Amino acid sequence: MLRSLKTSLLAGLLLCARSCVPAQTPQSAPAPQNTQTPQSAPAGQVVDIVLSDSGVTVDGQSAGTDTSGAVYLGGEIIYYHDGTDASYGEGETGEAHSADEAAAHTLVTIAQPGSYRLSGTLSKGQIAIDLGDGAKDDPSAVVTLILDNANVTCTVAPALIFYNVYECDRGFVEQPQGYQPSAQVDTSAAGANVVLAAGSVNTFTGSHVARIYKEGTTENLHRYDGAFYSCMSMNISGDDGDDSGALNIIADNEGLDTQLHLTINGGTVNVQSQDDGVNTNEDNVSVTTINGGAVTVNAGQGAEGDGIDSNGYLVINGGSVTTLSSDRSMDGGIDADGDILVNGGALAAFGVSNDAVSKSSQQTVLELGLPAPLSEGSLLELKDGDGNVVWTATAQRAHQNLTISVPELSQDQTYQLYVDGVLQETTQGFGRGGPRPGNGQRPTELPEDFDPSQFDGQTPPRDFDPGQFDGQTPPELPEDFDPDQFDGQRPHRGQAHAQDTGDAA
Predicted local confidence at residue 204, as pLDDT:
99
Q: What amino acid is encoded at 418 in this protein? A: Y
pLDDT at 411: 87
Asked if 242 and 198 touch (Cβ cutoff 8 Å), the reply is yes
What's the confidence (pLDDT) of residue 44?
72
Q: What percentage of residues in the chain have a pLDDT greater than 90?
A: 73
* Partners of 416 in beta bridges: 383, 426
Q: Is residue 494 part of a domain?
A: yes
> Is 174 domain-assigned?
yes
Separation CA 362–CA 221 (nearest Å):
41
- Give CA–CA dist 462/345, Å, rounded: 34
Q: What is the pLDDT of residue 124?
A: 98
- Half-sphere exposure of residue 108, counting CA atoms within 13 Å on the CB side? 29
pLDDT tens by residue, 3-45: 333 333 334 443 454 433 333 332 333 333 443 434 455 567 9
pLDDT < 70 stretches in the chain: 1-43, 428-505
Vertex 316: Cα angle to 312 and 318 (nearest 5): 160
Q: What's this model's pTM, rounded to 2 decimal places?
A: 0.81
Per residue, what are the HEC states of 455-495? CCCCCCCCCCCHHHHCCCCCCCCCCCCCHHHHCCCCCCCCC
Domain extent at residue 164 = 9-499
Dihedral over Cα of 164, 77, 123, 293: its sign: negative
Q: How many domains does the chain have?
A: 1
CA distance 248 to 260: 21
356 found inside a domain: yes
Residue 185 lies in a domain: yes
Q: What is the pLDDT of residue 85?
A: 97
Q: For residue 23, what pLDDT is reported?
A: 35
Within a domain: 459 = yes
Residue 505 placed within a domain: no
Over residues 431-474, the pLDDT tens digits come to: 232 223 333 222 334 345 544 344 343 333 334 343 443 444 44
Residue 1 falls inside a structural domain: no
